Chains A and B, each alone.
Chain A
Amino acid sequence: MATKTSVRLTINHESYDVEVEPRWLLSDVIRHQLGLTGTHVGCEQGVCGACTILVDGKPERSCLMFAVQAEGLDIITVEGLSPDVKRLTPLQESFRDHHALQCGYCTSGMLLTATALLEKDPHPSETTIREALSGNVCRCTGYQFIVDAILAVANGPKEVQE
């Protein structure tokens, strides 16, 4: 049964050819086969949001999808948020400025969800932000600083720091 199939995954605009067993979760293949360990795994039941990735621009759970299903999908992980690895996106900068992370376990999922939200609605209200983030659990920050960081980006373009 453990026969492998090859799939071509498109992650952060790069193509990866990988051999996978059908039962391998996309989250595990992203982490273990591709070494993109920014995608975290907390619960494997869709509840915590740590594994959230963007699929064709929309947040989805990588722990609730098999890697064999991901061929042809445009996937973005936290590593792909900024086009330049040496620079943070304005949202990432804002997370840093607002102390929106402590241990960082939830941060990738938070960033991806918030990025998709701002794409869809560039000026969300605090309620909309909280509703969008309701599927991402953070055990450290108490959420306020995360909401502040997103609101700061929503409320006006921040000059990119040199």
Chain B
Amino acid sequence: MKPGAFEYRKATSVKDVVTWLHGDSTSKILAGGQSLVPVMNFRLAHPSLLVDINEITSLRQITCDADHITIGAMVHHQEMVENREVRQYFPLLSVAARHIGHWAVRNRGTVGGSLAHADPASEWPAVMVALQAQIGVEGIDGSRVISAADLFLGYYTTELAADEMMTTIHISHPNHPLGFAEVARRPGDFALAGAIVEDFGDAHGSVTWFGVAGKPERVKVSLPKEAALRAQSFQTALQTLTQLDEDRHRQQLAITVAERAFQHSHLNGQEYFTFEGGQV
């Protein structure tokens, strides 16, 4: 199908965006369009005004060193896969980005768009919750910072007001091993289940799943040495979530990906990037 009619405006500043959004309650931001346009093509959304933010080039910047990274909301997924500093200092972000959709989708889809869309099976929301990212948001009355844990309310729902815009994502490196794994039917499909695991040392850590519950939550887990005990520990953590369904298959996948993410967190160098057969 084809989208319904709308008015189109190209923003060149964040101020334009929040002013226009504020002036029209059925307006929407158009970022990469990789989630919004399909939804409009199926007439599941019919915004009256689209505010295109692709020309606000300041939102495409990444600043990154060993301790911190700030990602502009309009940074493309593929840039996160390929960026040298990201790969060196925050390889988890690069590995996670590689799992998003197909190459053509990653070339246009953005980090901010993915967070705003808040698909429970998507990678970025879970990654940002696991790494306790701070999200910079602009509104008509000024800016505020939301921690990722507070941003996601549930299925496709965030804390953002209709006239607010995400501008930056800030992460401080947690400086302990981080691992990522997911299971999808084919490369590029949304995950059936995925996990990010942190290992704090002393048999403690956290697991953040995606594709398993309506929103990502960072759950503390014990990480005993024996795999069988770890599986039990992941099982216990899983029970604390309100799961999408009671599907035993998905629960088993959740335990499996958590274990794989744990294994991944202890790989280094090139092995970290080629885990699960990745080539990038």
Contact = CB atoms under 8 A, between A and B. Distances in A.
Nearest to A66: B8
Contact of B41 (A1, A44, A52): A44
Given A21-B5, A64-B33, A113 B104 contact: yes
Contacts of B52: 69
A23 interface: yes
B156 interface: no
Nearest to B1: A44
B102 A45 contact: no
A127 B104 CA distance: 17
Main secondary structure of the interface of B (DSSP, over half): loop
Contacts of B174: none
Given A45-B42, A125-B279, A135-B188, A61 B6 contact: no
Q: Give the most central of B34, B102, B104, B186: most A CB within 10 Å.
A: B104
B11 to A, nearest CB: 12
Interface of A is mostly: mixed
A52 B104 contact: yes
B54 interface: yes
B108 A23 contact: no
A134 B277 contact: no
Nearest to B279: A128
Contacts of A66: 8, 33, 37, 50
Q: Interface extent on B, as a size class?
A: 20 to 34
Nearest to A21: B5
A85 interface: no
Interface string A1-35: 11001000000000000000111110010000000
A116 B50 CA distance: 30
A23 B2 contact: yes
Interface in A141-155: none
B4 A132 contact: no
A58 B41 contact: no
B101 A135 contact: yes
Contacts of B103: 59, 113, 131-132, 134-135
Contact of B105 (A46, A125, A127): A46
B187 interface: yes
A106 B33 CA distance: 22
Interface in B61-94: 78
A135 B5 contact: no
Nearest to A69: B52
A2 B6 CA distance: 8
Contacts of B188: 134-135
Given A23-B3, A46-B34, A65 B108 contact: yes
Contacts of A136: 102
B202 interface: no
Contacts of A127: 277, 279
In the A-B complex, list the 7 residue pairs whose CB atoms are closest, starting with the nearest: A135-B102, A22-B8, A45-B38, A1-B5, A134-B187, A59-B104, A64-B37
Interface of B: 1-8, 30, 33-34, 37-38, 41-42, 50, 52, 54, 78, 101-105, 107-108, 186-188, 277-279
